[in-house]
Structure 1
Amino acid sequence: MPLTKQAIRRYRAIDQCLSNRQRIWTTDALLAVLSTSYNEHTGSNDGVGRTTLFDDLQAMKEGGDTGFDAPICYSRKKGHHYTVPGYSIFRIPLTGSDVVILQQALHALQAIRGIGLATALDDIIRRMNGRLALAGSLDDIPTILQFEEAPNYTGTNWLQPLYDSIQRQQPVRLGYQSYRAMTATEQVVHPYLLKSYQHRWFLLGYSPAKAELQVFALDRITACADTAVAYVPSAVNFDTHFQHVIGPTVPAGEQPTTVHLRFAHGRAPYVQTKPLHPTQCEVASTPAGLELTLYLVPNPELVTRLLSFGADVEVLAPATLRATMRKRLRAALASYNN
């Protein structure tokens, strides 16, 4: 079972006590410390009971879910104490296999370019290698996982400063030039989220000038600097914000609708094994193809995704989306006819 915040606080308090070998830690002494800590965090006067203390000590000794295996003993002369001088449950050394697992995870994290986390972890693991005197280095580990990257993508240089701004809840002044604009413009943005889609990065943030949540492609940002205005916290739950769309664009005020598609039988297995959206549902298999539905809000990313299937997909409904697809495909055909 996962550790609760209260359990972690108690373990930390017990650890601090037992790490202090200048005092004999009787049961009553530990209870006094735990009760004071508990009451300060909860605002109650209930304190911590003896059963809870003994359960915590036993859990710390046995490991299990905590993974501590702490060398805790009790004697009348020494009270509750660590048998290993200098021991702390928060200073547990990593084993060689732990480092190997971390190294493999680092290789996967290195696919995230620009944020800087991979570089920081690289340095940490190198220091771990030195402490554990392990042979070899990160360069000796064969690549097992390889992620596709967008070549020469120009937006990653803004990931680190925007990531920091979101963490600090710091509004920024963005220079931004959309693909349709002739020149860049500046505006204040309250940054909330960095989202990746189709090998591109996007910033979602509140724009006071527009009085709405906006999406900014990082490769169109020309400048980014802190600005001295009060931060406006997000009122959006980003865990559910994108549940009815494909991509980062959520059309304001639009409600989800049922999108009815028909795929050619030759393309159907690819869509069955890699659904377009979590709401994808198969409704029929006819001589003309596989029919399925999606429940979402049509947006530019959906249109682009459907266009990528070429002649292998037909939009049956809604009529507005079908008309959009017809117009785009006719324009494409006209380009080839010319």
Structure 2
Amino acid sequence: MPDNKKPSIRYIIIDRCIRNTARDYGLSELLAAVNEELIDRGVEPIKSRTTIYTDINDLEFQFNAPIEKVQKGNRTYFKYSDPNYSYGNQPLNQEEIEHLRDAANILSKFSGVPGFDWIHDITSKLEIGTFKESGDPNVISFDSSEFLKGKNFIGPIFHAIVKKKVLKISYQKFKSSKEKTHQVHPYHLKEYDSRWYILGYLPHIDDLITLGVDRINKVEVVKNDSFIDNERFDFVDYFEDLIGIWKEKDVKPINVKLKFSKKMSDYILTKPIHGSQKERSLDDGSLLVELEVIPNYELENLILSFHSHVEVLEPESFRNRIIELITDAKSKYE
């Protein structure tokens, strides 16, 4: 089991506990919370409350944490006098920047390996992030939803996937007034259109379930349930013929033929809609595109997002579906 000499993990856990206004944390509670997560991460737990007390002093004096002691009876608890403070918002020091650059170099070795296409984006962000900490913070920004509901669950879910932990997930669909609980063996996290999704195995249906993270109300690790390893689902293949996330069972890919206007053609050429895309330029500057994809809600939304700059040519069933959606939208303005 790895040792616990690196205090940064403990700082993160302690910071999270102190920011939690729903309960009180003294040294004993912080020690228990830290050790629970350290053990869960496969890290040697700490044995003394003195270590926690030293970490609190480090947060206060090295990272300017506005920690105050609150006396309740014979117990002393820790709170932040500034509720907006977070250890995670502190700027990186030079040593941490160098560590991130080293991490980027290591991760870059995986570029091009099937299933690791995301590595290129991560390493780019790491390189840019390290420059951002030491340079102008206004150089670049990323398209992300800062206020996405449920984003606080992404870390615990990722950790459960890596550590092979069964999760109890409280989930509430957008149009449902009732919450439902799923006991999920988590296999995969997927981001699409600035939203995150978890794909996991449900033994009682012997199949995958897809849950939007923004509809999750609670995530808990199930400690007395054995994790079922993923030996059936290849997520590279799973998403290969898909735009977006949602996939109806037993629905096969179709050949979709589209015609894009001259104004839109360069955008489609420089940012293909899908990996299966084949294109042919016409004399009038328009562009014919063929895709081999599974028809779903996200594909429909994508086609509609191009407005009058695209026409669905084939298949007739999908063309009629788009006509139906456009007609319905048009009726709302009549």
TM-score grouping bracket, smaller chain normalisation: 0.5 to 0.7
Q: Which residue of 1 aligns with 2:225?
A: 229
Give the number of the structure whose alpha-carbon radius of gyration is greater: 1
CA distance in 2, matches of 1:221, 1:201: 11
Q: Which residue of 1 aligns with 2:19?
A: none
Identity %, equivalent residues: 27
Q: 1:328 aligns with which of 308, 312, 325?
A: 325
Shift of 1:283: 3.7
CA distance in 2, matches of 1:209, 1:285: 52
CA distance in 2, matches of 1:184, 1:164: 24
**Contact 1:187–1:209 (CA under 8 A) maintained in structure 2:** no
Q: 2:256 aligns with which of 256, 259, 280?
A: 259
CA distance in 2, matches of 1:308, 1:320: 19
CA distance in 2, matches of 1:209, 1:326: 39
Q: Which residue of 2 aligns with 1:142?
A: 136
**Contact 2:166–2:227 (CA under 8 A) maintained in structure 1:** yes
1:206 aligns with 2:201: yes
Amino acid at match of 2:135: I
Amino acid at match of 1:181: S
**Contact 1:103–1:138 (CA under 8 A) maintained in structure 2:** no
Amino acid at match of 1:268: S
Structure 2 gap segments, 5+ residues each: 1-93, 106-121
Relative to the length of structure 1, the TM-score reads 0.58
Q: Which residue of 2 aligns with 1:166?
A: 161
4+ residue runs of structure 1 moved beyond 3 angstroms? 103-106, 137-140, 286-289
Q: 1:177 aligns with which of 155, 172, 180?
A: 172
1:307 aligns with 2:301: no
What is the root-mean-square deviation of aligned Cα atoms in Å? 3.1
Q: Which residue of 2 aligns with 1:220?
A: 215
CA distance in 2, matches of 1:141, 1:288: 43
- Superposed CA offset, 1:154-177 (max 9, x none): 121101111111112111111111
Q: Which residue of 2 aligns with 1:241?
A: 238
Amino acid at match of 2:260: F
- Superposed CA offset, 1:129-157 (max 9, x none): xxxxxxxx974422444211214111211
Equivalent pairs, count: 217
Q: Which residue of 2 aligns with 1:102?
A: 101
Relative to the length of structure 2, the TM-score reads 0.59
Shift of 1:320: 2.1
- Superposed CA offset, 1:1-52 (max 9, x none): xxxxxxxxxxxxxxxxxxxxxxxxxxxxxxxxxxxxxxxxxxxxxxxxxxxx
CA distance in 2, matches of 1:154, 1:178: 13
**Contact 1:176–1:222 (CA under 8 A) maintained in structure 2:** yes
> SS at 2:236's partner residue?
helix
CA distance in 1, matches of 2:313, 2:332: 25
Q: 2:286 aligns with which of 284, 289, 301?
A: 289
Q: Which residue of 2 aligns with 1:274?
A: 271
Judged with a 3 Å threshold, the aligned counterparts in structure 2 of structure 1 residues 232 and 101 are, in CA distance, closer, same or farther, namely closer
Shift of 1:321: 1.4
